[in-house]
Amino acid sequence: MKIEGATLVTVLRHGLVAGRPHVYRGSLDDAMTRQGLEQVREAVARLATPAFDRIASSPYRRCLDFARAYADETETPLDVIESFREMSFGAWEGLTPGEAARLDPELHRLFRGSAGTVAPPGGETVGQLSARVNAGWDAWLRDSDGGHRLLVTHAGVMRVLLMGLLGMPHSHAYRVALPEAAYFRVSILAGAAPVLLSLNSCAA
């Protein structure tokens, strides 16, 4: 679906990443596996209608390696935007949620259940993540005027964007499942509220 005169934005999560699965990866700069690269290539092959005319990416390799290669292949302008990096999990990076909860049960409970105000040790709150992501989003789309843009980023970034689109509190961010190569699409029209067109939380 494309709303007349609006900018269509597809927001895509990276594919399967090398290293331990199901951890707070945050700023750990792991690359995608071959399977992960295939996941995002298959997703983009389905989603590139109409063709993308601008691409943005997180600076982390699990997003940027693919985004840069695809931008080169399609001769599409690429913006590498620091605001779209994943949330910093501080001392919990590389740990599973269960391991982080065992390390500090009360802090982890507050982090997952608060309204975005509690951070991991040395990390960011969901509220801080939301502020920088939304500032980057607004800046990236400031000159948009139709067309189709692609953002390759992380589950945390996608969650806070969705919370804003759906008017949900930050405490609901972890109620959205976003596996590898999940995506959503949004229509941006000047003077109107953004419209969520689709949410696909399946990698297949």
Q: What Rg do the C-alpha atoms of the chain give, in angstroms?
A: 16
- Give the CA diameter of the chain: 51
What's the pLDDT at 203?
A: 47
3-state DSSP call for residue 3?
Answer: coil
145 vs 188: CA distance, rounded Å: 9
Write the pLDDT tens digit of every residue in 11-36.
999 999 999 999 999 999 999 999 99
CATH level 3 topology of 7-89+126-200 = Rossmann fold (3.40.50)
pTM: 0.94
Domain spans, the chain = 7-89+126-200
What's the pLDDT at 86?
A: 98
What's the pLDDT at 202?
A: 56
Q: How many CB atoms lie within 10 A of CB 98?
A: 10
* The pairing of beta strand 183-188 with beta strand 7-13: antiparallel
**For residue 1, what are its two tokens?**
């679906």
The CB-based long-range contact list for 22-25 (8 Å cut-off, 24+ gap) reads: 22/96, 22/97, 23/93, 23/94, 23/95, 23/96, 24/89, 24/92, 24/93, 24/94, 24/95, 24/96, 24/97, 24/100, 24/120, 25/86, 25/89, 25/93, 25/94
Using CB atoms within 10 Å of the CB of residue 111, give its burial: 0 to 12 exposed, 13 to 18 middle, 19+ buried.
Answer: buried
| Average model confidence (pLDDT) across the chain | 93
Using CB atoms within 10 Å of the CB of residue 74, give its burial: 0 to 12 exposed, 13 to 18 middle, 19+ buried.
Answer: middle
pLDDT tens digits, the chain, 204 residues: what are they?
Answer: 556 689 999 999 999 999 999 999 999 999 999 999 999 999 999 999 999 999 999 999 999 999 999 999 999 999 999 999 999 999 999 999 999 999 999 999 999 888 789 999 999 999 999 999 999 999 999 989 899 999 999 999 999 999 999 899 888 888 888 999 999 999 998 888 899 999 986 544
What's the pLDDT at 4?
A: 66
**For residue 183, what are its two tokens?**
């995506």
β-sheet bridge partners, residue 12: 152, 183
**Contact between residue 82 and residue 74 where contact means Cβ atoms under 8 Å apart:** no
Q: By C-alpha distance, which of 73, 119, 81, 78 is closest to 100?
A: 119
